Structures are given as C-alpha cells and as structure tokens.
Chains A and B, each alone.
Chain A
C-alpha cells in the first residue's frame, strides 16, 4: 500500500515537470506540448481571433505519431467558454498556429487558453496554458488603450493650450506695458505718453495695423517693433488728433482719455468693458 502511494507521487511529479518546467521537460526528452501567444496578442475583443502558437516536441523517432490536441478557453472563475480538438500527425516536432475565435458576447476579463495532448502510449498527461485578456473595443481601440490615448491627447492638448495661452498673454502683456519717457522734458512728456498709450491700446485691439498707422503719421517716429515714441518733429497735439481720427475710423469707436496719469495705467481708455 505504501509503495502504490510512492508510484502515484512519481507520476504526479513527472506531470508537473511536463507542465511547468520546459527546461527539465526537455532534459527528460519526453513528448510535450507547448503553447503561447507567440508574441502576437495577449488581448482580444469578443468575436476576434486569438492566435495560439503550438509546439509539439519529442514525438517518435523517424515515424509519425497521431497526436490529439485539445484546446479550451477558461475564464478566471473556471468557466469554459470554448473547446475544440484536432489530430495532427507529428514526426519528432511540429509547430503551427492555431486560431480560435473568441465567442461574441464574451464578458471582458482575464482568461486562460489551455491545450493538452493525447497520443498512443501516453504515460502521463501533458498540458500547457497561457493567460490573455478579453476586452471590448471602441472606435477600433481596446477600452484601456482608448482611455490611455484619450488621456495622452487631453494632456497634450492642455499643454499645447497652456503654451499657446502663455504666448498670447505674454504678447498682450508686451503690448500693454506703458513705455517710460523719463528722458523727455516734463512739458513734452505728457504728449509722448498720450501718443504712446494711444498706439499701445490700439495694438492691443487691432495688432500690428496700429503700428503701421503710427509709422505713417507725419512728424512721428516710433520703434517699429515696440511702438515706443522715439521722436516728435511736428505739433504733438496735431499728431494725437491724427492718430485718434485714424484709430476711431479703424475701430469704429470713439476714444476716451485718463489724463492724470497713474503709471500703472494707460492714459487712453478705448472702452472699459472690452479690456
């Protein structure tokens, strides 16, 4: 009785070696089956094909052996959702790709593809398995991939939006920063400031067109990039009147002024609500 237990134990050990340790199994030179996803896929959607790479090793010595291969797909909970068998004639070794269609309506989750072999003179069972995942698709993407890509795109859009917004705000800040005219005599400075602020306010609203108009005014020299007033060679009141006239025509709105200048604010007020 004690000896029988020992024999059973040997069989189980051999089977375990066959199933779980290919290296040892190869050393034993016994027939075996080996399956894998073959690097093709480990995630499929219901209705799609799951390719299984099957390797049958160490069969016969120069003569063919009929081997029956049984395939099964089981859920994590052990429920079988697919089964099939096929017989192949193997001489020493055989490699082939078995394709299994995952049934439509298969719930998403983790699954295991199992294969076992049966052949004449078999002493111990030989099985192998590999895990894969069933997942639904949306717009041709697996759900997890879809949400991943969506997240990446959203992050990229946010980053691009932030960068774009920063550039716009930086440009606007440059356009609405009043220039300083400390080097200009007190009597003339107010005119420089009004002209400068008028150009600045218009640049904020109509962009470079405001600079083009300012550059065309006779007696007024402005920096072509910043709009800073560099020189006034005509009556400054005439220059301001000319600028106001052209800007009002361009903007379709009359221009107001704040004369007691606070250095943090423009002396020109186009419209309170639009700024």
Chain B
C-alpha cells in the first residue's frame, strides 16, 4: 500500500483535535498537514493538492461548507475526496443542500464515531483511490 505518498489535509479549528489527527495519521505513514479555518484550508488545499481533506463545518473566518463550495469551483478541487467531520446535526436545509451539491464522501458526526472508526474510513477511502 502506498500510504507514504498519500497526503491528507485536516481543516479543523479545534487545535487538540487537529493535532491528534496529525499525530495518528503520521503514525500510519501518511503525510498530514493542517489548517485552522476554511480560508487557510482552501489555500493550502489548492497549493498542496492533498489526496483527502478532513473538513470541519463550524469554523471561524470561513466555514467548511463555504470552503467546499469554493473548492468545487476549482478544476482540481472539484474531484478531491472530502470527508466532513462535524458535531453539527444535518437538520438545516442548507447543510443538506450543500451535502448533495458539493458531494463530500461522508458526513460524519464526530460524537457518534470513535477515532478508530474514523481512521478506518480514511484508510478505506485512500485504498479505494489506489484501486480506481
């Protein structure tokens, strides 16, 4: 498996959560880097072109759904795999519409998923990229 070559961007405003993911992903052999809001995340994504973006929704400066919208406007960004990681319930029409329009792979509620299971989803996604 070519984990070493896979790049993962974490866009998350909670520093502790961000650092935890960076540490675990690096332990797994991935190249992981981070951004603390959507604006920085978008710039970093377009510059580094990661294989996968873990994206929070509620963030300062630019929220995750706006970042994803702008990302999909880019020729590279429209196809990049995104996993939304949030504590926000999908009970807003705008959130549902964004999910349908911007096509993240997953909309995962952090509180309902263990760290281990999220890591499995990440590996599953990257493995699927290898087979496609």
Contacts and interface: CB of A to CB of B under 8 A. Distances in A.
A269 to B, nearest CB: 8
B95 interface: yes
Interface in A217-273: 235-238, 240-241, 244-245, 248, 253-260, 269-273
A237 B96 contact: yes
A271 B114 CA distance: 10
Contacts of A255: 89-90, 109, 112
Contacts of B113: 256, 271-272
B99 interface: yes
Contacts of A248: 89, 91
B96 A241 contact: yes
A130 interface: no
Contacts of A260: 103, 105
Contacts of A244: 89-91, 96
Contacts of A256: 106-109, 112-113
B96 A259 contact: no
B108 A237 contact: no
A191 interface: yes
B75 interface: no
B4 interface: no
A271 B117 CA distance: 10
Contacts of A271: 112-113
A250 to B, nearest CB: 13
Contact of A253 (B87, B91, B112): B112
Interface in B78-132: 87, 89-97, 99-100, 103-109, 111-114, 117
A259 B99 contact: yes
A190 to B, nearest CB: 5
A196 to B, nearest CB: 14
Given A245-B89, A248-B91, A255-B90, A237 B111 contact: no
Interface residues of A, number: 25
Interface string A76-90: 000000000000000
B104 to A, nearest CB: 6
A259 B91 contact: no
B112 A240 contact: no
A1 B103 CA distance: 120
B43 to A, nearest CB: 25
Contacts of A194: 96, 100
B112 A257 contact: no
A237 B105 contact: no
A254 B100 contact: no
Nearest to A257: B107
A237 B37 CA distance: 26
A238 B103 contact: no
Contacts of B97: 237
A245 B92 CA distance: 9
Contacts of B91: 241, 244-245, 248
20 contacts: A235-B93, A236-B96, A237-B93, A237-B100, A238-B93, A241-B91, A241-B92, A241-B96, A244-B89, A244-B91, A245-B89, A245-B91, A254-B89, A254-B111, A255-B89, A255-B109, A256-B106, A256-B112, A259-B100, A260-B105
Interface of A: 190-191, 194, 235-238, 240-241, 244-245, 248, 253-260, 269-273
Given A238-B93, A248-B89, 13 more contacts: A194-B100, A235-B93, A237-B94, A241-B95, A241-B96, A244-B90, A254-B87, A254-B112, A255-B90, A257-B107, A259-B107, A270-B112, A271-B112
Interface of B: 87, 89-97, 99-100, 103-109, 111-114, 117
By Cβ-Cβ distance, the 6 closest A-B pairs, closest first, are A237-B96, A254-B109, A257-B107, A237-B93, A245-B91, A237-B97
